[in-house]
Amino acid sequence: MTESSRGRDGGGGDAGGGSREHPFRSGLVTIVGRPNVGKSTLLNRLVGRKLAITSPKPQTTRNRITGVVNRDRAQIVFIDTPGIHRPKHKLGEYMVGVAMAALEEVEAILFVVEAPEPPGPGDRYVAERLSRVRTPVLLVVNKADLCPGDVTRANVESYLKLGEFAGHLAISAVRDESFELLLRTIESLLPEGPRYYPEGIDTDQPEAFVIAELVREKVLETTRDEVPHSVAVVVEELRPGGRRAGVAEDQAGDPRGGQLADQREDQREAPRAGPLGDAPDLVYARAVIYVERESQKGIIVGSGGTMLRDVGRRARREIEALFGTKVYLDLWVKVEKNWRDRAGVLRALGYASQRE
C-alpha cells in the first residue's frame, strides 16, 4: 500500500502488457447504489483483500475508496462510494457529494442493487441520478444467494425498467469465488491505455486513513442505535516506534478525556510487509474517536475503559495483519458537539467538500 496520485503509468497502449491483437485496457469504474447493498464487500472481494470497512449499519462508507485490479490485459481502478441517499445533515451532504463526484470522468459505473428485494424508493432515487450521466452503467444485482432464482429473475426485470443499462449480472459478493464474467464485461467497456498504477499497488489510501477506518469499524461492531453514526476517527500521529515518553498506562483521569486501549496482551506475528518504509518492529498510532455527546463518550469508553480496550484490541489485530508489524494503538475519545452539522469541524475531520 502506498500513497499515490492518479496518473497513468507508462506511455504507449501496450505498456500494460497488451498486443496489437489484444490491446491493454484501463479505466476507472465507480461502484454506486443506495446504502447497505454490499458495495464495499464487493470492492474487497474484487481486489482480493480488505480495503473498505463493512458493517450491517447503513452509511458505513463515508469517503471514496480506491481499489486496483490488475489483469493480464487490463487494469481496472474501482472507486467505492458512500450510499446515495437523501441527506439529513451536512455529513450526509458531503457523502452524497462524494458519490456524485465519482460519477465524473470514469469509464463505467456499477449500479449495485439487492436481488431479494424489488426496487424501492432509494433505488429509484439512485437510478434517477444515473439517468443524467452518459457513462455506461452495469446493473449488478447482489445477494443473489439469499433468494430463489425465480425471485432474482423477477426482481432483475423490475430493476431493468429503471434505466438504460450496458448489461446486467446477478452475483453474490459474499459467496462467489470468481467474478470473471463481471470483470470481462467491465473490460469490454474500457478504452485502450496503459496502467494508472504500477503492478503490485492495490490502493492509494494513506496508512493513517486505513487505520482510522478500521478503528471506526470496530466501534460500529460494538455499539448500536445512534452512536455509530455519531462517530468519526482521526489518526493524529503515526510513526515507527513505541508510545511517547510519559504516556501513562491508565489515562482515565486525563483532563483531555482520553482512554488508552489495552496493549498488554500477547501480540501475534503478522504475515505481510507493511507501512512506513521497511516494516519497523513497532508502529505507534494515536487515534482520536470523536462523538457528539458526553453520553456517547461514556458508552464508547465503557465501565473502567472496558469497551474502549475491546475496540482497541479488535482494531489492532486487523492493523497488524494488514501492515505486517506490531502496533501500539493509543486511543482517545473526545466530544465535538453536533460535528455532523458543522462545516468547519467536518473539514477538520477530513470531510472536505468536493469543491474544496
Q: What is the 3-state secondary structure (H, E, C) of 24-69?
A: CEEEEEEEECCCCCCHHHHHHHHHCCCCCCCCCCCCCCCCCEEEEE
Q: Do residues 77 and 197 touch, judged by C-beta distance below 8 A?
A: yes
CA 272-183-159 angle, to 5 degrees, is 120
Angular region, 258: left φ>0, alpha ψ -120 to 50, beta rest: beta
Kindly give the parts of the chain with pLDDT less than 50.
Answer: 1-8, 10-14, 245-276, 355-356
Lookup result for grid cell 483483500: 49
The whole-angstrom separation of Cα 158 and Cα 174 is 23
Phi first, then psi: what are they for 178, rounded to 5°?
Answer: -135, 140
Return the CATH number of the domain spanning residue range 207-348.
Answer: 3.30.300.20
Position 138 scores a pLDDT of: 97
- Grid coordinates given for 98: 462524494
Position 13 scores a pLDDT of: 40
Position 70 scores a pLDDT of: 96
Domain boundaries, the chain: 25-189, 207-348
The CATH T-level fold of domain 25-189 is Rossmann fold (3.40.50)
Position 278 scores a pLDDT of: 54
Position 107 scores a pLDDT of: 96
Position 270 scores a pLDDT of: 31
Burial 117-156 (b: 16+ CB within 10 A, else e): bebeebbeebbebbeeeebbbbbbbbbbeebeeeebeebb
Query: Which residues face 69 on adjacent strands?
Result: 76
